[in-house]
Structure 1
Amino acid sequence: MLFDVDYLARQLLMDVDGDDAGTLLRSWPTMVAAAEDLWASLPGWRPGVDERDRPMTSLAAQAATIEASLAGRKAWPGQGPTNPRLEQMTQTLISAAALVRRYGAEIPHEQPEAHRDLEAARARIMHGLYLTAHAVNVALHDNGRDRVNDARESGRRVHLAQHHSPYAVAPTGAWLDRMTACENTAHSYLSDRFAQALAGVAIRPVEDPSRLTQALANWDIQSHRALACQLEPSNILLITRTQGLIAGASMVLVDAAATAGILEPSDRLVPAIADAGRSWSDLASRWSDLAPPGARIQEPLSRAAAEVRAAYRQMTHDASTLVSPEVIAGRPGLPQAVTATLRAVEAGSELAHVVAEKADNRNLTGSARTLSRRAHNDIDSGMVAAPPEGDVVWVSPADILARRWVPLPKPVATALRAASAAAATASGAASRESSLHLPPARVGGIPSDRGRGRDSRTHAGWRPLGATKSRGVTL
C-alpha cells in the first residue's frame, strides 16, 4: 500500500500544473493527518520520546496551520473541490493504518528484521509526503507564472518576487513559503537515511503464483466496464497509463522468460511491445489535458489498476529496486506470469480500438491554457499540418485568462485521433507478436489452436519450463 502511495505521488509530480494548485493545497492537510495516524499506529511508537518522530510531529503541526488558514479565508484558494489523487493516497494511508491497528500486536517489533522493516515503512511514508509537498510547490509555482504571464499580456505591471522564485507572487507566495517549510521538514527526515532504510524492508516470498493472472483478468473487466459507461477522461487517462505500465513490465518478464528458457528469444517481440508502450504513454499525456482537476476515478477501476501495479512489482522488484532477469527467472510463478502478461498485451489491441472510438467524441473539453499550448506544440512538431492562413489563435485569450474549459481546438482533436490510431496500430502489432509466443489454449485438457490459424504441435516461441530441444524439435 505504501508502494502505491509512492507511485501515485510520482505520477502527480510528473504531470502537475498551475490549475491543480488550489485542489492540491486543500487536500494536503488531510493527507498529512492520515500519514501521521499511520505513523502513530506502527508498533513501537512512543509519543514524544523518539527523536525520529519529531519531523512527522512538526509536519503535522505545519499542515494543521495550513488547514486552519484555509478554513478562515475567502480569498484564493478558498473553499472548493479537493484533488482526487491526493484523496486516493489519503484513503490508502487510512486503510493501512486500520490494518496495522488490527494486526500490529502480532508483530515482534523488537526483532532486528521487524525493526528494519518498520524503519523502511516510516521512510516510505515520509517519502510519499515529500514527493507530494514538492508537487504542491511545483503547482503553486506554475500558478504564479500563469498569473505573471496573464498580467503581462493584459499590459498590467507585476512585481516579481525576490525569493524562492520570481513567480512566487501574491496570492501564491505565502503558500509557497508554507509548503516549502513542509517539504524541507520531510527532507530533513529522509536526508542520508532513505536508501539505507529501504534496504531493510522485509520481502515476502511469492505465495500466490496466480496473482498477476487474476489481477490482469480483473483489470480487463474493469477497464471495459469503465469504457462502456459515460465518457470520463479521468478513467481513460488511468486506462492508458496502466496499459503503458503493462507494456513496460511485459518487456521485463519476457526478458526474464528468455533467460529462464521459457520463451524462445525473439528480435521482434520486445520491440513491438516497446512501441506499443510508447504509444500508450503518448496517448495518456494527451488525455491528461482533458481530465478535470476534481474528476473522480471509478473505485473498482482504481483498485484494479493498483493491484496490477502491485502484482507486477512482486515479480520484478525487491523493495524499490528492479532486479535482474536472472533473479526473476528463479521466482516461482514465472511461466504463469509470462502467459498472463502476453495475453494482456494481446488483448490491448481491442482495448486500444475502444479508446480510439472515445477520441471521436465531439463533446471533449479541456483547460483553455493547456489546449492552447498543445495546439501550437502539435503544429510545431509536425504532428498536425500548419494551417495555410499562417499563425492562428486557436483559443481565445479571454478564455485563457478566465481559466475556462473549452472544446478541443482542431489541431488538438486531430492529433488526439492520430495518437489513438497510432496506439491501435502499435498495439495490434504487439498483439500479433504476443499471440505467436503464447502457449496453445486447452479445451477439455486437449491443446487447441482455435482461432489462431496454426498447428499447436508446431507452436512458435513457447517452451514449457524445463523442456529441452533436440534436433530442432521441442520435447
Structure 2
Amino acid sequence: MVYVASHGVGQALWQYNRDMRRVLDAKHRLNPGQSADQSLNLMVRVGTAEQLAASYLQGRWPAGLTGQHRDLVEPDRLEQAVACWDVQARRTLAASPTAANVLFTVKVERDLTVAGGRILAAAAQLGAVDSDQHAQRLQPALESLDEAWARLGGDLAQIAGRARRVDPELLRSGAELRASLREITADLGGHASPETMAQRADLRVASLEVQRGLVAAVDLGYVLRDVVTDPELTVPARGVQAACTLLPAQPDDAAWVDPRDLHANSPVTLPQALRASLAEHSADVVAAAVRVDSAGTFLGANREISPAGPQLTGRAHEERAVRVSPAPGLAYGCER
C-alpha cells in the first residue's frame, strides 16, 4: 500500500514539477506560492519513501501464480536497528530539535556510512554483490557521503559546545544501531575480516539493510536542513561565536553574538550567515545520499551466494533512482 501510494504521489509530483519548469522557462517567474525547486525536493523525498517501500517488498512477492505467498522471516538485529533508528531520529528532531540531538544524529549517520561501507566492501570482496559496481560506483559515492556528514558534523560540534544532553530514546536507538553494526564488523578491538563477517551474517542481506539505512539519509538530510535553518532554533552563545569565526569574513563579523549573551552562554538564535552555511552542508548530504541511492540499485539484484540460499522465481521489482538538483536557498517560491 505504501509503495503504490508513494509511487502515485511521485508521478503526480513529477508532472507538477514538469509543468512548473515549463512555465518558469517561458515566463521566467511563477505565481506566489508556487515553487519548482521545492516541488523537486518533495519529489526526491517521496521517491526515497517509494525506494524504501520497494526494498522491503524485494524478494517477498508470490513465488508463483497459485495464490500462495512466501512466509516472512523474522527480522534480524540489524534490520530492526536500522528501522528503529530511522523512525526515532525523525521523532526526536520533530519533538526536540536541539543542537545536541542534531549532532548525535549526524554522528550516528556517519557511523552507519563508515561501518556499513565495510559490510558492503566485504560483500563485494566475497562475491555476495557485484564487485565492479561496488568499486566503480558505490564506494566513491560512500566516500562522498562520509565527507558530507563530516563537514556538517564539524560545524554542529562547534555550535553544540558542551550542550551534549541527548534525548534518551534517540541515544538508545543510536547505540543499538552502532552495536548491531559492530557485531558484524568488529573483531577483538579491530576490524573483522570479510571471511569473519560472512560467518556472522548473510552479507547479501546485510548489504541490503545497510543500503536501506543509507537511502533513508536522503530524507533525513532534508529534515536536518529544516532544523538547522529554523529561525526559532536556539543554541549556546559560545558555540555560535566559535562556529562563526570559521565562516568567511563578514562586514559585521565582530557582532555575531551579544557580549552579555556570550558571557552568560545564553541560548541565542543562529545568525543568517551560519544558517546559510549549515543549509549548504545539509544540501551536500542530500546530494551525496542520492548518489549512494543511485549507485546501490544493483544490490537489489537476485544473486545466489550459497547453496542454502535459493533464488525466488516470482515477480521482480525494478528499483528506481531519482535525480536531484542543487538545493535552493532559504527562500520559498517565486523563483526568478
Common fold by TM > 0.5: yes
Specify whether residues 311 and 408 from structure 1 end up closer, same or farther in structure 2 by C-alpha distance, changes over 3 A only: same
1:449 aligns with 2:317: yes
CA contact (8 A) 1:236 1:355 kept: yes
Shift of 1:295: 5.9
Specify whether residues 412 and 238 from structure 1 end up closer, same or farther in structure 2 by C-alpha distance, changes over 3 A only: same
Alpha-carbon distance in structure 2 between the residues aligned to 1:447 and 1:222 = 32
Q: The residue matched to 1:406 in structure 2 has which SS?
A: strand
Specify whether residues 295 and 334 from structure 1 end up closer, same or farther in structure 2 by C-alpha distance, changes over 3 A only: same
Shift of 1:327: 3.0
Q: The residue matched to 2:255 in structure 1 has which SS?
A: coil
1:334 aligns with 2:188: no
Alpha-carbon distance in structure 1 between the residues aligned to 2:192 and 2:254 = 50
Match of 1:412 in 2: 274
Q: The residue matched to 1:362 in structure 2 has which SS?
A: coil
Structure 1 residue identity aligned to 2:118: V
Match of 1:396 in 2: 258
Q: Of the candidates 83, 86, 95, which is equivalent to residue 220 of structure 1?
A: 86
Alpha-carbon distance in structure 1 between the residues aligned to 2:201 and 2:264 = 56
1:69-218 matches, cutoff 5 A: 210-218=76-84
List runs of 5+ in structure 1 lacking aligned partners.
Answer: 1-207, 380-385, 454-475
Structure 2 residue identity aligned to 1:425: A
After superposition, the CA RMSD in angstroms is 2.7
Alpha-carbon distance in structure 1 between the residues aligned to 2:110 and 2:277 = 19
Match of 1:84 in 2: none
Match of 1:278 in 2: 147
Q: Of the candidates 246, 269, 292, which is equivalent to residue 377 of structure 1?
A: 246
1:365 aligns with 2:225: no
Specify whether residues 356 and 445 from structure 1 end up closer, same or farther in structure 2 by C-alpha distance, changes over 3 A only: farther
Shift of 1:247: 0.4
Match of 1:345 in 2: 214
Alpha-carbon distance in structure 2 between the residues aligned to 1:315 and 1:231 = 31
Alpha-carbon distance in structure 2 between the residues aligned to 1:293 and 1:402 = 14
Alpha-carbon distance in structure 2 between the residues aligned to 1:357 and 1:209 = 32
Alpha-carbon distance in structure 1 between the residues aligned to 2:170 and 2:315 = 33
Structure 1 length as normaliser, TM-score? 0.46
Alpha-carbon distance in structure 1 between the residues aligned to 2:242 and 2:181 = 35
Specify whether residues 325 and 250 from structure 1 end up closer, same or farther in structure 2 by C-alpha distance, changes over 3 A only: same
Task: Note the alpha carbon deviations across 1:230-250, whole angstroms, 9 max, x for none.
Answer: 423322222111110000012
Q: Of the candidates 394, 409, 426, which is equivalent to residue 288 of structure 2?
A: 426
Match of 2:54 in 1: none
Q: The residue matched to 1:262 in structure 2 has which SS?
A: coil
Shift of 1:221: 1.7
Greater RCO between the two (CA within 8 Å, min separation 6)?
2
Specify whether residues 357 and 445 from structure 1 end up closer, same or farther in structure 2 by C-alpha distance, changes over 3 A only: farther
Shift of 1:428: 1.3
CA contact (8 A) 2:100 2:164 kept: yes
Shift of 1:445: 7.4
CA contact (8 A) 1:343 1:438 kept: no
Shift of 1:217: 1.4
Task: Note the alpha carbon deviations across 1:204-232, whole angstroms, 9 max, x for none.
Answer: xxxx9921112111111212222332423
CA contact (8 A) 1:209 1:336 kept: no
Shift of 1:451: 5.4
Alpha-carbon distance in structure 2 between the residues aligned to 1:370 and 1:343 = 34
CA contact (8 A) 2:184 2:192 kept: no
CA contact (8 A) 1:346 1:431 kept: yes
Task: Note the alpha carbon deviations across 1:148-182, whole angstroms, 9 max, x for none.
Answer: xxxxxxxxxxxxxxxxxxxxxxxxxxxxxxxxxxx
Alpha-carbon distance in structure 1 between the residues aligned to 2:159 and 2:242 = 13
Alpha-carbon distance in structure 1 between the residues aligned to 2:253 and 2:102 = 32
Q: Of the candidates 178, 192, 204, which is equivalent to residue 323 of structure 1?
A: 192
Alpha-carbon distance in structure 2 between the residues aligned to 1:369 and 1:420 = 22
Q: Of the candidates 232, 240, 243, which is equivalent to residue 106 of structure 2?
A: 240
Q: Of the candidates 169, 177, 188, which is equivalent to residue 308 of structure 1?
A: 177
Structure 1 residue identity aligned to 2:93: L
Alpha-carbon distance in structure 2 between the residues aligned to 1:390 and 1:297 = 33
Structure 2 length as normaliser, TM-score? 0.63
State the aligned residue count.
Answer: 237
Specify whether residues 406 and 298 from structure 1 end up closer, same or farther in structure 2 by C-alpha distance, changes over 3 A only: closer
Shift of 1:399: 2.9
Task: Note the alpha carbon deviations across 1:238-275, whole angstroms, 9 max, x for none.
Answer: 21111100000121011100111011123120111121
